[in-house]
């Protein structure tokens, strides 16, 4: 197939800002869907007859989505290397529509699970393929800023997702009486249909068409890796951590199955002619360093999302929405950090910003680990609220590394491998989230039990009310001490990530192609 030279037709780079903006909207849509279910989970439970006091029965709605999201990501990323970013993005959005319709029509738990798995598979392709699209359209020196904006769109979904869910359900309750109250949550998923169609249309007219290459795709390797990742997700996600078991029931067997699948994948990749992950032309050490740093950043992120809310309930005595809103400071700082980190990385380098971001995050977690039980009245420098400031610092630090780590990983591979490389980087981050929260939640509950056992017992007092208050205060202090240790460990994880970041591809490490090469691998959209 003859490629269209830049001189013969309008350069696709002219409209690349619009193209990445359209793809970024698709990323935001997928991110919203990831987090929106949190705010409508109880409504879904009522519709599929799950008792509200048996919330553990609803956890597969989340875990199966994660399964689809992570498992199919590497294969879909590789398919985008073969068939082009636009085609895979549009196919993923079409599949996303199918999953949304299945979820909206579901009346039983299995039906909801099927819909969520399909949505997860579709959403899993949107972020890595958009990152790869940025690599296609921008040179290695300039793409970090763009990757920061894409990362900001992803993180913005974590802020807006729950808000959108609550907002849509409230709007339906108040203004659409014809919709049964228990079915209002379905509108959240029906809305995905027109939004995804709009995104597909925008992609058609903005994202340049890539010339289809003759390289083959290792479907067998992709499926083996999908099985391994899927079993890992189910084996690591424990919906009811109690401080004694790190893994859920049967988790050890599932992880054993995952290990077998990983071994089979490695053997297949060793002897297969067509490989899913082709290391030819890849600078392996810098790429693995970027993935390792992403694992650490992901672990810190997920621990924060889970434990700050629990802290708000147990120590600050906040309930429901108030506990969730405690995270807003952290969540808002993430996209701000992502944009700032990308901007800085284009000027001083990916490695410098990645290391600095993780060090800033570590400092934030050290401050969080020192929260007193009356943190709401504590201030830094006399006027900075301690809780808000420390959460914002941690979020800003983790946000700073999003663009630079993505850019560094893409520097280490050829453009023809950008899809699979981006997918592996996102998988690394998600794996860190699962491993981090599983390990540190178990550690935290274990330490809580130990701390309570070593604290002086509360002697019975004549006034039963005073005894109850004293016991509650004792438990509150134990939780504060426990979370202090958990967040101190989280700071250590960020420091380890900073060490890994020292070995990522630096500013002088250029990709195999020049800035104009990206234009020569694309033809204008038709």
Output the 3-class SS for 148-169.
Answer: HHHHHHHHHHHHHHHHHHHHHH
Could you tell me the CA-to-CA distances from 283 to 177, 279, 286, 411 in Å, in that order?
59, 8, 6, 9
Mean pLDDT of the chain: 83
Across the range 117-133, mean pLDDT stands at: 92
Three-state SS at 459? coil
Domain extent at residue 224? 218-275
- Using CA atoms, how far residue 302 sits from 51, 128, 513, in Å, is 27, 19, 36
User: Within this chain, do residues 271 and 302 fall inside the same structural domain, yes or no?
Assistant: no
Q: Is the pLDDT of residue 450 over 60?
A: yes
Residues 155 and 249 in one domain: no
Residue 151 within any structural domain of the chain: yes
Q: Tell whether 60 and 163 lie within a shared domain.
A: yes
Answer with the residue of higher pLDDT: 365 or 211: 365
Evaluate whether residue 163 is within a structural domain.
yes
Are both 389 and 492 inside the same structural domain?
Answer: yes
3 state DSSP class of 246: coil
Q: How confident is the model at residue 525 (pLDDT cuts 50, 70, 90)?
A: very low
66 or 238, greater pLDDT: 66
**Residue 63 pLDDT greater than 70, yes or no:** yes
Same domain, 252 and 380: no
CATH code of residue 175: 1.20.1250.20
Domain identity same for 316 and 264: no
Determine if residue 352 is left, alpha or beta; phi over 0 gives left, psi from -120 to 50 gives alpha, anything else beta.
alpha
**What confidence tens digit (pLDDT) does each residue in 128-181 have?**
999 999 988 888 888 899 999 999 998 888 888 888 888 888 888 777 777 777
For position 13, what pLDDT does the model report? 53
Residues 408 and 502 in one domain: yes
Whether the per-residue pLDDT at 499 is higher than 60: the answer is yes
Long-range contacts of 191-197 (CB under 8 A, 24+ apart): 192/29, 192/33, 192/96, 192/97, 192/100, 193/97, 193/100, 193/101, 195/29, 196/26, 196/29, 196/93, 196/94, 196/96, 196/97, 196/100, 197/93, 197/97
294 with 421, same domain: the answer is yes
Does residue 296 lie in a domain region? yes
**Average pLDDT of the residues in 310-335:** 84
Shared domain for 60 and 167, answered yes or no, is yes
Q: Does 525 map to a domain?
A: no
Does 198 score more than 90 pLDDT? yes
Q: Which of 231, 253, 275 is the last residue of a domain?
A: 275
- Is residue 517 predicted with pLDDT exceeding 50? no
Last residue of a domain, one of 156, 185, 210: 210
What are the two backbone dihedrals, phi and then psi, of residue 142, each rounded to the nearest 5 degrees?
-115, -10
Whether residue 526 is contained in a domain is answered as no
For residue 4, what pLDDT band results from cuts at 50, 70 and 90?
very low
Residue 408 and residue 292 share a domain:
yes
pLDDT digits (tens, 9 = 90+) for 262-280: 899 889 888 888 878 777 7
Token couple for 220: 């067998």
* Structural domain includes residue 203: yes
- Residue 285 has what pLDDT? 92
H or E element at residue 127? helix 109-137
> Is pLDDT of 512 > 50?
no
Burial tier of 429 (Cβ tally within 10 Å: 0-12, 13-18, 19+): buried
Q: What is the pLDDT of residue 242?
A: 55
| Beta bridge pairs of residue 380 | 384
Q: pLDDT value at position 97?
A: 96
Q: Are residues 201 and 305 in the same domain?
A: no
> 187 in a domain, yes or no?
yes
Tell me which of 210, 245, 265 is where a domain ends.
210
Domain count, the chain: 3
Say what the pTM is: 0.84
- Residue 336: pLDDT band (50, 70, 90) is very high
93 and 187 co-located in one domain: yes
The per-type count for the chain, helices as H runs and strands as E runs, is: 19, 4
Task: Give 255's pLDDT tier (boundaries 50, 70, 90).
Answer: confident
Per DSSP, 435 falls in state: H
């Amino acid at each position: 197939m003859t490629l269209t030279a830049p001189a013969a037709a309008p350069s696709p780079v002219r409209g690349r800002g619009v193209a990445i903006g359209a793809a970024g909207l698709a990323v935001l849509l997928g991110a919203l869907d990831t987090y929106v279910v949190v705010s409508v989970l109880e409504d879904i439970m009522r519709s599929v007859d799950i008792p509200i006091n048996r919330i553990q029965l609803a956890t597969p709605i989340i875990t199966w989505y994660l399964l689809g999201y992570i498992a199919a990501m590497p294969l879909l990323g590789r398919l985008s290397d073969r068939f082009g970013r636009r085609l895979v993005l549009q196919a993923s959005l079409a599949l996303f529509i199918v999953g949304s319709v299945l979820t909206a029509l579901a009346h039983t738990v299995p039906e909801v699970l099927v819909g969520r798995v399909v949505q997860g598979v579709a959403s899993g392709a949107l972020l890595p393929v958009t990152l790869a699209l940025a690599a296609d359209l921008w040179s290695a020196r300039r793409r970090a800023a763009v990757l920061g904006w894409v990362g900001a769109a992803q993180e913005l979904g974590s802020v807006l997702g729950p808000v959108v869910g609550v907002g849509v359900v409230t709007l339906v309750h108040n203004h659409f009486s014809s919709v049964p109250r228990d079915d209002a949550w379905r509108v959240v998923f029906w809305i995905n249909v027109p939004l995804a169609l709009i995104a597909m249309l925008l992609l058609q007219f903005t994202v340049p068409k890539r010339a289809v290459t003759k390289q083959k795709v290792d479907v067998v390797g992709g499926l083996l890796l999908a099985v391994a990742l899927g079993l890992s997700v189910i084996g690591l996600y424990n919906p009811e951590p109690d401080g004694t078991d790190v893994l859920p029931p049967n988790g050890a067997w599932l992880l054993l199955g995952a290990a077998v699948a990983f071994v089979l994948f490695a053997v297949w990749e060793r002897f297969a002619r067509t490989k899913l992950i082709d290391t030819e032309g890849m600078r392996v050490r810098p790429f693995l360093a970027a993935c390792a740093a992403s694992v650490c950043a992901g672990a810190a992120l997920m621990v924060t999302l889970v434990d700050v809310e629990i802290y708000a309930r147990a120590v600050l005595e906040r309930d429901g929405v108030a506990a969730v809103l405690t995270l807003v400071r952290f969540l808002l700082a993430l996209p701000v950090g992502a944009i700032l980190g990308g901007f800085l990385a284009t000027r001083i380098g990916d490695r410098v910003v990645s290391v600095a971001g993780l060090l800033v995050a570590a400092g934030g977690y050290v401050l969080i680990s020192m929260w007193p039980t009356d943190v709401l009245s504590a201030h830094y420098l006399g006027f900075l609220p301690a809780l808000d400031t420390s959460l914002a610092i941690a979020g800003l630090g983790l946000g700073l590394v999003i663009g630079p780590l993505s850019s560094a990983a893409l520097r280490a591979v050829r453009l023809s491998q950008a899809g699979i490389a981006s997918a592996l980087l996102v998988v690394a981050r998600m794996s860190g989230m699962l491993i981090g929260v599983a390990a540190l939640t178990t550690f935290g509950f274990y330490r809580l039990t130990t701390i309570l056992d070593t604290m002086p017992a509360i002697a019975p007092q004549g006034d039963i009310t005073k005894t109850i208050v004293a016991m509650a205060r004792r438990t509150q202090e134990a939780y504060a001490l426990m979370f202090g240790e958990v967040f101190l460990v989280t700071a250590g994880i960020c420091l380890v990530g900073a060490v890994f970041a020292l070995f990522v591809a630096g500013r002088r490490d250029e990709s195999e192609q020049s800035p104009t090469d990206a234009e020569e691998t694309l033809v204008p959209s038709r």
